[in-house]
Every structure is written in C-alpha cells, then in structure tokens.
Amino acid sequence: MLAGSEYNAPNRERRRKLIRETLHREGGKMTTQAIHLALQASYPAYCSRTTRRDLVALVKQKVIKEVVTDNEDGRARYWILRRASLDLVLSPAESMTLTAMFQHAECFGFRAATGELAALRDYAADSIIAGARRNLVAEGRIRTGTRFTVLQPGDYNTEHLQTIQDAMRDDQCLEMVYRPRDVGAVTCTYLLKPLALSYQDSNIYLSAYVASEEWLPGQAPEDGAARGKYSSNGPGTTCALMLHRVVSVRTTVANIAEPAGYDPGSPQAQRDLITLHGDGPVELKLRLSPNLHNRLTENPLSADQLITQDRHGWVLTCQLNDSQGLRLFLLSNAADIEVLAPADLRAYVCGKLHEALERYKCPAD
C-alpha cells in the first residue's frame, strides 16, 4: 500500500480518470475487483481500499453509479459509467480554440476557473504545450478581445447562480431577496418561477415570472408607478433580474406555473432583457462611408443585408430590430453612417448628435 502522503491530488485525479476510461472501454458494468485489477498495471502500489474510495468519490460526482444485479457472489459490487460522463482527448488545435473560448468568456463575466471547468482549462493548456517547441500559453500568443470598451462584470455570488441553475433543472420555484434598481438600499422578496438565464454585456440575467412580492411596510411602490429596469414589473408578470443584485435565494415548495406559451426568444421576453423599439424588425437603410463599407462587407450587419451603389456612395439595406444595440452602433459610427430610413430612427440619431454637440460647444470646466 502506498503511503498516504503520496496519494496526492494529481495521482488521485489520474486514477479516477483511468477508472472512467476502463468502464468506458468495458461498455457495461464491472466489479470492484475487476476495476482494481485494471488499475494495477499503472498503479501497482495502491490497495483495493483506495480503489473503493475512488469509486465512492466518482459516485458522489455523478460520474459513475452502482448497479444491483443478480450474481453468484452476493458480496460483489458492480459499477457502470453514467451516460452523461464524457472523457475528452483534444488535439492541440482544438485545445487552442478552447483556451481562446475560456479567455473570451471570462471577459464577459463567466467564471470558468472553478471546479471541473478549471481542470478542463488546465488540460487544454497542457495539451497545447505537450511536445511543442514553444509555450504559446505562457507567451500570451493566444488572445481574444474586442475593439469596444467592456465594462467590468457585476460581482455575483456563485452559490446563488448554482441554486438557480439547479432549480431550473429540477423545475422548482424560488424565493429571492432582491435589491430593485432606483430604490436605494430597499429590498423585496420575490416568489418566482425561473424561466431562462441570459449571459450578456458582462452580467448574468434571470428571466422570471414573479407570482408575488413582499415589501417592508411603507416601501412598496404605488399602484401604476414606473418600476426600475431589471426589477419585478409587478406580481403576475415576467421580468429580468440581475444576479449581482440578488441578496439571497433558495428553493421553495411553491408550485408556480410557467406562463402559457412562454418563449425566451420572443420579442416580449427579450424586451425585459434589452430595450426594443417596436414590435418587430424595421426596414433599415443606411448610407456608408468607404471605411464602413469595407467593414460591413467583411462583417455583415445582418444575414440579409444588401449593399448597392448610387451617385452618392454606398447604401446598405436590411431588416433588423430597432434595439438599444443598433442605436449604440449607429451613434458610435455616426461619422461614417447616415440613417436614411426609418424616419423615426433618423430623427433619434439626429437628436442625440445635437445633444452631444451642445455639450462640446464650450471648453471643459
């Protein structure tokens, strides 16, 4: 038997990975003894008690499960790989792509350096380095980014996220203490049905149906009063809530039905998450500078865009939702874009540019 001090984390993880591979090759159930014998070639110094400990740990991780079977030896215990278990062998090229995905996700608020995700990220880094002449990871040769300024992610509690994820998987409801926007330090308790999670703009949002609210005396909003965005819209309505504004959350035995016909991709559901103007796509017509014509030819604004040329230059037409994102794009490229249609969108951009010019007329104080 190997000394306990030498049964370290790397050895433990390698043994457990080998158990998964052994069960995968078998394609069915195996006894503890058969699994232990399969490990002996690589780990002869460990006793069967260590193998049993590894098997119990893998059951707790829901990687394998024990099965009951009729057999001559009633003392034998059988184990089988769960269908959800997956062992990956990535090529260096695939590992480079995965490393870039982790980097990009972390820029937008995903916490990928925890648990098995951290192990997967480390595996990808090791795969890139193995047999290579250069350490591309250490040299920072794999990079992701954006030309735009990215806000720092909201500081949410990972345990809150896990509670919400587990509730959604088990179709449970939640009791949540939340800090609504625009009401200072006031909190409210929501009884809600979680509907969807949205990862966008450095934050995580929960789309939910709020069945009831519980405010402290004197703090409830007046009937008909405007609610702050990313707060409850009132009992009996859907909304989008920010995870970093959650004070506490727990599952509840309450049975709240999901709204009939709920579709997380519908304009109604999306309107809780982003600002949408109108009920559907608009016929967009833009005049482009040569610089933006080059950019939008290589990276189209939409899949159905059409670019033509007239005596004044390049004209782009397409169908898009008139959203907050589109308006920010138009304003940030205002020197290279003229909105020709629709008229109300042209008027909006014109008004915002006039406001900006007024601010810049005088020298800064």
Q: How far, in Å, CA of 16 to CA of 3, rounded?
A: 18
What average pLDDT does this structure show over 14-40?
87
Same domain, 163 and 269: yes
* Structural domain containing residue 248: 158-220+227-273
List, for residues 57-71, the tens digit of each pLDDT value: 888 877 788 988 766
Q: How far, in Å, CA of 260 to CA of 155, rounded?
A: 33
Same domain, 134 and 113: yes
Asked if residue 103 is part of any domain, the answer here is yes
Number of domains in the chain: 4
What angle (nearest 5°) sits at the alpha carbon of residue 355, between those of residues 353 and 356? 65
Question: What pLDDT, on a 0 to 100 scale, did the predictor assign at position 71?
Answer: 64
Cα dihedral 45, 51, 57, 60 in deg (nearest 10) = 170
- What are the beta bridge partners of residue 242? 205
Same domain, 173 and 249: yes
Average pLDDT, the chain: 88
Task: Find the distance separating the first CA and the last CA of the chain, reported in whole Å.
Answer: 77
Same domain, 237 and 132: no
Q: Give the DSSP per-residue string, 105-138.
A: HHHTT---SSHHHHHHHHHHHHHHHTT-SS-TTT
Question: What pLDDT, on a 0 to 100 scale, did the predictor assign at position 84?
Answer: 54
Asked if residue 245 is part of any domain, the answer here is yes
Q: How far, in Å, CA of 321 to CA of 314, rounded?
A: 22
Report which of 210, 167, 164, 171 is spatially closest to residue 188, judged by C-alpha positions. Answer: 210
Asked if residue 365 is part of any domain, the answer here is no
Listed residues 273, 294, 311: the one ending a domain = 273
CATH number of the CATH domain containing 71: 1.10.10.10
Is residue 213's pLDDT more than 80? yes
Asked if residue 151 is part of any domain, the answer here is no
Listed residues 60, 81, 102: the one ending a domain = 81
Same domain, 209 and 262: yes
Is residue 1's pLDDT more than 50? no
Listed residues 81, 116, 137: the one ending a domain = 81
What angle separates helix 9-26 from helix 32-40, to the nearest 10 degrees? 120
Question: What pLDDT, on a 0 to 100 scale, did the predictor assign at position 9?
Answer: 57
Same domain, 266 and 171: yes
Same domain, 72 and 93: no
Report which of 349, 344, 332, 340 is spatially closest to residue 312, judged by C-alpha positions. Answer: 340
Question: What pLDDT, on a 0 to 100 scale, did the predictor assign at position 3?
Answer: 43
Tell me the H-state helices in 231-289: 267-273
List, for residues 276-289, the tens digit of each pLDDT value: 898 889 999 999 99
Is residue 87's pLDDT more than 90? no
Same domain, 135 and 231: no
Structure-block tokens of residue 98:
């995965």
Give the least confident one: 212-216, 219-223, 295-299, 315-319: 219-223
High-pLDDT (> 70) share of the chain, %:
94
Q: Letter for the amino acid at 205? A: Y
Same domain, 183 and 212: yes
Same domain, 165 and 121: no
Is residue 102's pLDDT more than 80? yes
Same domain, 262 and 284: no
Structure-block tokens of residue 10:
């790397």
Q: How far, in Å, CA of 9 to CA of 5, rounded?
A: 10
List, for residues 107-159, the tens digit of each pLDDT value: 777 877 677 788 888 888 888 887 788 988 888 888 888 888 888 888 999 99
